[in-house]
Amino acid sequence: MKYIDEYRDSSKAKNYFDAIHKIVKRNWSIMEICGGQTHSIVKYGIDELLPKNITLIHGPGCPVCVTPVEKIDKAIEIASAPEVIFCSFGDMLRVPGTHSDLLKVKANGNDVRIVYSPVDSVNIAKQNPDKQIVFFAVGFETTAPANAQAVYLAYKENINNFSVLVSHVLVPPAIKAILDAKKNRVQGLLAAGHVCAVMGYKEYESIARNYHLPIIVTGFEPLDILQGIYMCINQLENVTCNVENQYSRVVSREGNPNAQKIMNEVFETSDTKWRGIGNIKQSGLKLKDKYKKFDAELIFGVIDYTVEESTECISGIILQGIKKPMDCPAFGTICTPEHPLGATMVSSEGACSAYYLYKEKN
């Protein structure tokens, strides 16, 4: 198949639903890692049409959602400085910090710009030598290579008014943290296809083996997800625990070596806090010493800034798959996309956003 419509074919979807109904014999709980998968599942009503003994658990797969509150507050403080041009992808502007968000900083007259590539920020730095240009480097392994390339370019061209506020997180350590949790009920995983396109899936093989559960590298269209669920259920029913690659049109076992090379040149792993989850060892990226002069937290003196998270928002519990968005008393009342309490209601990949947009329609 070549085109998107083919991956949304209702007759082929029905064949997968029928096949899943035929092979499932027991109760199973499967977690989809990526928020993009969550949106497809809820938008197309996949969770409603599966057998009742299959439970889909929504994982932490939204980098916007897991960016900690203090990182947002750091961004707001830096962006509020008069000498700063603060650059970010658009999905970060409405993520709430403790008292504000970047969109309000922009509305107050500060120079906050939406860019479509981190390299755009480097070019803005060249055009504005009298300003400090800061790029909000957020994401999983998918965006890390491009962000690393921007830092590398600034280093090579000796651009001294450019820096990055790094908030990169890594998927495998988060998976292990979820599987190690006392309340864990995940029996199979749908891994994020775009992350594996960069990193490959070799690292997932030991997870599948050590935790005795199947992992299916899965795409984002309805047929991708249904095939991934079928493959996962098939393994569960046959008591196997291997990594399979449903998304073979994009993903290879080794991933993208060039992307990994630039990541490893600029970044190294570090302990990192996830919003609503807490600190996870070696689950993030930070700049290597060679590139520390591009670290916005050091430049603007916000390295030790910490805050407490809101107790009204249960996004952390949702991101761990313990509860669903509709279990939150604030959902759809005091927490909406227009007035969000947490990032899961703001992000285009957030579980709360998906339920708010699509659940009633289904």
List pLDDT tens digits, range 130-159: 999 999 999 999 999 999 999 999 999 999
User: What is the Cα–Cα distance from 201 to 13, expressed in whole angstroms?
Assistant: 26
pLDDT band at 346 (very low <50, low <70, confident <90, very high): confident
To the question of pTM greater than 0.85 for the whole model, the response is yes
Worst-scoring range by mean pLDDT, 62-66, 73-77, 93-97, 229-233?
62-66
Amino acid at 311: T
Query: Across the beta sheet with 54-61, what order do the strands follow?
Result: 54-61, 28-34, 188-192, 215-218, 243-245
Query: Across the beta sheet with 111-114, what order do the strands follow?
Result: 111-114, 84-88, 132-139, 162-169, 278-287, 267-274
Judge contact between 187 and 147, C-beta under 8 A: no
* All residues at 6 or more sequence positions from 130 whose CB lies less than 8 Å from its CB, including other chains: 83, 161
**169-203 tens-digit pLDDT:** 999 999 999 999 888 999 999 999 999 999 999 99
pLDDT at 303: 80
Judge contact between 190 and 61, C-beta under 8 A: no
* CATH code 3.40.50.11740 for 65-169+255-299: yes
**For helices 118-127 and 144-156, what crossing angle results, to 10°?**
30
Judge contact between 320 and 178, C-beta under 8 A: yes
DSSP H helices, the chain, are 10-23, 35-43, 46-49, 63-66, 69-79, 102-107, 118-127, 144-156, 171-180, 193-199, 202-211, 222-237, 257-266, 296-299, 315-319, 343-346, 351-354
pLDDT at 360: 62
More confident: 205 or 59: 205
Query: Over 90: is that where the pLDDT of 323 sits?
Result: no
Q: Is 127 strand, coil or helix?
A: helix
pLDDT at 175: 93
pLDDT at 361: 47
Query: What does the angle CA 324 – CA 279 – CA 268 come to, to the nearest 5 degrees?
Result: 120
Token pair for 257: 């070596």
pLDDT band at 87 (very low <50, low <70, confident <90, very high): very high
pLDDT at 80: 97
Mean pLDDT of the region 293-315: 84
Mean pLDDT of the region 243-247: 98
